[in-house]
Structure 1
């Protein structure tokens, strides 16, 4: 009788062990998904048998990649019921395994990311909260289980960068964490072979979008991409990270060398990024071709306002400068897409202001300087501004922008002492009307004094950046300022 009972228990244990198994086929499928080779991954997943939680997770991962790269509302409506199906299937598997809660959380985060892309912020927020609670519980139950820390570390960084006036909300919801804790957890997650590459990429994206991206981080990113030459996702995120940090020539190199072909998932947004880079380089006809191609191939609602705004800029700043045709493009900004992402919000704001009041001729000079500086083409940016001085601009907004642009140009040229007076002047001019140039100038001054190890001044400027209440870049500026304060 005891022998039969022992065999029965062994059978149950063996069955449960199969609930979360990384078979060779699933390992290959996950590797392909990370490269955006979704079709080959789906073929590998279809060949797997049994109710394996790893397969359920990877099926969901494939759907998430399709949704966030296409931005197609119809596809989202078709696939959205799968979240509950996948969660129900995972809940039926062995809850004594450290994998169960991790994969439940991963599925919720997949859908949170997807829902944010489609403007479903409230539902996405609840998915994030539930994922956090699952991962926190798993950490307590299995503290040495490394896969927990990839997403838990990311969430702790997000919670740690919440602006002060929203901290009480996070606490009320039971969300606790800070940036330093999250960074340590992401480093710990990189020790795990399953999620190492993903954890490395998340760590670099956090440094680029929440913290301060350093030259050393850029070298790490370059090495990671060179070691994974067939990984389209890495080339894409590498380009977005470098473009975000004012290194558009490096971003262009990553996109030029990216793997292509029918094996990879289409990424229409790459044409939008290429359009941005060529616009920064003042190559207006090439930029126009990329923005047009994006609008033809893209099925979503994000980046439409941004693309028509950029087409306007190509026409407005280009050699022909036919303002009447450019105005028609700007009117299109008001009728297409949505204002979920910051670039679309900025495009909408510019279009409304321009069509209502027009702009002074000086705006073209400032815009050329801004685009060149944003791309890291500081020689061109300085050349645009050298013939001008503060006194040549009549409007306060233009004076503030002129000073901000010069400050950022010198900051990018590693000349912070020259940059400081311009950024301080931009801040002073912006504060009465709460212009975005003041918030971004304060943020950059915080970074400069942080590098100088002047913690008191750095803290003061980060707090000043947070004090600006209404501007189109508030989310990103506040996240970075909050992260800066946490690091002091």
Structure 2
């Protein structure tokens, strides 16, 4: 014992400092572990929330012993995000919106020695940015995105091997990389830097993390569908993701919307028919809206109307109302019940908000129809459009074959006729037949700056890109960007920017 005391007193200053460092590290790591602990209950809660099984997730969260665990705060925030995005409920948003600041303040008090601290703060900001965009709060959402970006960059610099950072940072780098050249000064001014290729590489890196793998895979596929160009190979990857997650309602839903957007409505219908169901899952009225759209594309107007009315009975939000009433109008109008159809279009002109593209298109159609009416040939074009958009190209061609451009009186009708034929042949893998029709649509659209010119230019860019004619492809992508104030400007511009940056 005497020897022990003597040895303890004789510790060198170096040894004493070493012990102090070890103690500091020990307590720091203990604090970090306590501040951000992925307990078994939180892992399951996060998995359930990702599947839209929010009530089971909330029960698991309520049983967690520590209310100050940063991971619990992160999972609770994720659960709120998916609930608000799915419900689209203004009252629920008003009640929940102050939780962002409360959670950010709580996370800032936790150990900044953990890579989870900045990551969780960034995720909370991004969650609320998505929610605010849905509820029309664009300016506040943009500031959340900028602050999240800075947190993620800082986290990457401090903890370069922490894989979850790359899930969201990769997504933001792709969005930044798709900004056109003449607006890059804005991103530079705000300190935002990144490229599409960099973002894709980071999403691939994030997929190596077990906790973030599924979410990173889904984000990667959504980026390809909504910003880049969705390929057949991407469709097969999406199908594998759905097959590997049979109980994940969110993946089934997003897979269906992705395939529908890319003209594969039969596949979208299959995903929705096989979606998981039960009381544990969040109600999703929007699924009835999508089903109504698919049946409308197939010409099954009674089934379409049933689903659209069910959507309106159960939905609490303000987005997609114009779209739903517009599609109910089509169910009657395309069966030549014009008098029964008109009240639905009057409703479309007055209800809801104009944020999403579907509502913008519905509003524009309603304003034109109610002020000027339509010609009989517009019904032909509408049937062809719906069938073509759904990928039912045999039906679409059958609608248009009896007609030629001279049968249509208005420049907009002539432009649409050519655009529809061009898209039909493009979907049938016959680009050489599609090109003249798409070029004609562009020519007819330029004077009135019609949306058909923008969308036709985008598709011509893709065709020439596949032909490896980079100069011609670039000229058409640039032309697509020059069309102003059309209802599809956001999506067309995003894809054209991404394609130009890829060139």
TM-score range, shorter chain: over 0.9
Partner of 1:412: 427
Aligned to 1:130: 147
Alignment partner of 1:26 is 2:42: yes
- Which residue of structure 1 lines up, in the alignment, with residue 4 of structure 2? none
2:56 aligned with 1:56, yes or no?
Answer: no
Q: Quick one: distance in 2 between partners of 1:284 and 1:71?
A: 26
Q: Deviations for 1:93-149, whole angstroms, at most 9, x for unmatched residues?
A: 111111111110000000000011111111111100100111111111112211111
The residue aligned with 1:338 is 353
Alpha-carbon offset, residue 339 of structure 1: 0.2
The reply on whether 1:398 has 2:413 as its aligned counterpart is yes
Deviation, 1:241, is 0.4
Tell me, yes or no, if structure 1 residue 163 matches structure 2 residue 170: no
Structure 1 position 9, deviation (Å):
5.4
* 3-state DSSP of counterpart to 2:364: helix
What's 1:187 paired with? 204
Give, in whole Å, the separation in 2 of the partners of 1:165 and 1:281.
42
Deviations 1:229-271 (A, max 9, x none): 1110110000000000000000000000000010101111000
Does the C-alpha gap of structure 1 residues 140 and 166 become closer, same or farther in structure 2, counting only changes over 3 Å?
A: same
For 2:13, the equivalent position in structure 1 comes to: none
Does 2:170 match 1:153?
yes
Whether the aligned pair in 1 keeps the contact of 2:178 and 2:494 (CA below 8 Å) is: yes
RMSD, aligned CA: 1.2
Alignment partner of 1:310 is 2:327:
yes
Q: Does 1:81 align with 2:95?
A: no
CA contact (8 A) 1:163 1:466 kept: no
Structure 1 residues 137-166: Cα deviation after superposition (integer angstroms, max 9, x where no partner): 111111221111100010111111123443
Q: How does 1:43-122 map to 2 (within 5 A)?
A: 43-50=59-66, 51-122=68-139
Return the offset for 1:7: 4.7
Deviation at 1:334, TM superposition (A): 1.5
CA distance in 1, matches of 2:180, 2:310: 38
**2:160 — aligned with what?**
143
Deviation, structure 1 residue 205 = 0.3
Find the partner of 1:454 among 469, 484, 495. Answer: 469
Unpaired runs of at least 5, structure 1: none
Describe the shift of the 1:312–1:447 C-alpha distance in structure 2 as closer, same or farther (beyond 3 A): same
Specify the SS of the correspondent of 1:302: coil
The answer as to whether partners of 2:28 and 2:113 remain within 8 angstroms in 1 is no
For the pair 1:172 / 2:194, whether they are aligned, the reply is no
* Residues 426, 84 of structure 1: alpha-carbon distance in 2 compared, 3 angstrom cutoff: same
Cα distance in structure 1, aligned partners of 2:143 and 2:202: 23
Give the structure 1 partner of residue 3 of structure 2.
none
1:236 pairs, out of 242, 253, 261, with 253
Following superposition of structure 1 onto structure 2, how do residues 469-484 of structure 1 map, counting pairs within 5 Å? 469-484=484-499
**1:453 Cα shift?**
1.1
Equivalents in 2 of 1:212, 1:6: separation in Å?
53
Q: Offset at 1:194?
A: 1.2
State the alpha-carbon separation in 1 of the partners of residues 22 and 500 from structure 2: 58
Q: Distance in 2 between matches of 1:41 and 1:188?
A: 27
2:266 maps to what in 1?
249
Tell me which residue corresponds to 1:17. Answer: 33
User: What is the Cα deviation at residue 6 of structure 1?
Assistant: 5.3
**Structure 1 residue 167: Cα displacement:** 2.2
Q: CA deviation at 1:52?
A: 1.2
Q: Cα distance, 1:180 vs. partner?
A: 1.1
Partner of residue 361 from structure 1, selected from 376, 393, 396:
376
- Which residue in 1 is equivalent to 2:11? none
* Counterpart pick for 1:351 among 366, 376, 383: 366
Distance 1:309 1:25 in 2: 45
Distance 2:243 2:33 in 1: 37
TM-score, normalised with respect to structure 2: 0.95
Distance in 1, Cα, partners of 2:357 & 2:248: 27
Deviation at 1:4, TM superposition (A): 8.3
